[in-house]
Structure 1
């Protein structure tokens, strides 16, 4: 009876449920944030929306990886990290473009949208907490969401400064910082994916 695999199947079902909810929430907020960033001319919001879109991609990959071989999961995490790296570099490019051509970010859109995103991401992070010390493809999803929360706080702070200083510079700064942070997180995922491929134990997420 102990070899029926029931516990393993229940664990997979729980992971699938968590990732499905997280995917739906992040995909929704990516659309909302992207629209708000476009209307509000905010590089910070656009960067945040792209970050959440990358989260949704990671959750989708995580769903596909459930129940698959360890090598497939490591490759899924590698794909997530590569996608995040490209998005981070894309954000940095967009910031540079707006610095050159100019923009007038709307602080109200920045603050309001970022607060909603923060609430959503905190909820998702709590759901993902049991997965952060799990297999590499699951830890990647937790890292994505942790990065989002930092970005949300930064966008709120930048929105306040944009309103106070009447300058777009804080928005450019937070857009740059989010882009750099995203690149850093992508590097962390890629390193862990390579370690998983070699069979090296992952870090425990206590950093």
Structure 2
């Protein structure tokens, strides 16, 4: 006779898989933030800095998601709500950097932008692959998947911006991509917050 019913064992197994995946992607994003922020400051790239802040937000998000695994729907919804706030905070930081760069123009080092956007693309592609199977499991993992999918678009955008800076010899492509990333982060934050609020209302009714 087993110690638990089949459904309970299946939930425990799913939670263990989620924890294992989140630990790996948390480590990847923590390392990538440290690497990317140094590269962004060195290259004077606002787009690369936005990308690095996205990695920091993801690392915090994955840490919170790890905390939420195995907890009730109400707690998962509250954690997802907090994660949406973190994404919005990252968007505000990007907006502040864009304003600063408009006041203090600079042409970023496109070689650094291109190289580190590709490194980040490889790291985030690995995260996306690992999170793929969890994307529909619950609101907690759905919000994690949202963050990871955004990262791929951000990395590709920075790579395109690096090419445009090289072609034009201007810093404007960097700012344009940073504005696009700002829009992406803001839209993602709104979606995560709306989904979390809906799940919170549903959990409260039950």
Question: What interval of TM-score do these two structures reach, taking the shorter chain for normalisation?
Answer: over 0.9
The Cα of 1:96 is off from its aligned counterpart by 1.2
Larger displacement relative to structure 2 (16-25 or 127-136)? 127-136
Distance, in Å, in 2 between the alignment partners of 1:96 and 1:152 is 21
Q: Counterpart in 1 of 2:115?
A: 112
Contact 2:124 2:151 in 1 (8 A): yes
Match of 1:49 among 25, 35, 52: 52
Q: Counterpart in 2 of 1:74?
A: 77
The Cα of 1:135 is off from its aligned counterpart by 1.0
Runs of at least 4 residues of structure 1 off by over 6 A?
Answer: none
In the TM superposition, what whole-angstrom CA distance separates every residue of 1:47-105 from its partner, at most 9, and x where no partner exists?
00001111111110010001111111000000000010011011011111111111220
What's the RMSD between the two structures over aligned residues? 1.2
Q: Counterpart in 1 of 2:21?
A: 18
Structure 1: tracts of 5 or more residues without a match? 201-207
Contact 1:122 1:149 in 2 (8 A): yes
Q: Counterpart in 2 of 1:205?
A: none
Distance, in Å, in 1 between the alignment partners of 2:201 and 2:127 is 30
Contact 1:27 1:52 in 2 (8 A): yes
Distance, in Å, in 2 between the alignment partners of 1:100 and 1:9 is 53
Contact 2:147 2:188 in 1 (8 A): yes
Contact 1:20 1:63 in 2 (8 A): yes
Distance, in Å, in 2 between the alignment partners of 1:82 and 1:131 is 22
Structure 2: tracts of 5 or more residues without a match? none
Distance, in Å, in 2 between the alignment partners of 1:70 and 1:153 is 34
Q: Counterpart in 2 of 1:86?
A: 89
Q: Give the count of matched residue pairs.
A: 200
Match of 1:184 among 175, 182, 187: 187
Larger displacement relative to structure 2 (3-12 or 84-93)? 3-12
Distance, in Å, in 2 between the alignment partners of 1:47 and 1:187 is 18
The Cα of 1:7 is off from its aligned counterpart by 2.2
